[in-house]
Amino acid sequence: MTDDSPYKILIFLKRRPGMSVEEFREYYENHHRPLVKQYSSGLSRYVRRYLEPLPHIDTKEMMEPEFDVVTELWCANRQAFDGLLGMVKSGTLPAEVLEDEERVFDRPKTRYFCLTECEG
C-alpha cells in the first residue's frame, strides 16, 4: 500500500445459516452496526454494500452468493489503519463485538482484504 492510497479494509461477510436475507440486513443495520460504531473512532467511513445476485449470464440460474455484504472500513489516517490491521491480524476484537458477530455472521466464511485502488 502506498502512502497516497486510501486506508481501506474490505470485509466479505456471509449471514449465519438459517437467517433470511431480510433478517440479516435488519440485524446488521439496527444492531451490529450501532455496536461497532462505538469502537470506530479511527474510521472516516463505514459502508455496507449488500449484494443483490443476478441470474447467471449463460444458464440464467439464480445462485446463492458466497457473501451477502461487502463492508468497507475507511481509516482516517495511517495510524488508525495500522491499529485496525493489527486487530484483524491478531483476531482481537472487543468481546461484545465478537459475541454479536456470532449472532449474525457465518464467521468461518469471513474474509478480510486490504485495498489498493487504481483508476483510469
* Per-residue pLDDT at 62: 93
Segment-wise mean pLDDT, segments of 10 residues, the chain, 120 residues: 71 98 98 93 94 94 95 93 89 91 97 87
Tell me if 81 is assigned to some domain: yes
Q: In terms of Cα–Cα distance, which of 13, 71, 14 is closest to 37?
A: 71
The boundaries of the domain holding residue 29 are 17-114
Q: In terms of Cα–Cα distance, which of 89, 87, 78, 77 is closest to 39?
A: 87
* Residues 59/17, Cβ–Cβ less than 8 Å: no
Tell me if 27 is assigned to some domain: yes
Number of domains observed in the structure of the chain = 1
Residue 61's DSSP bridge partners are: none
* Per-residue pLDDT at 5: 59
* Per-residue pLDDT at 4: 56
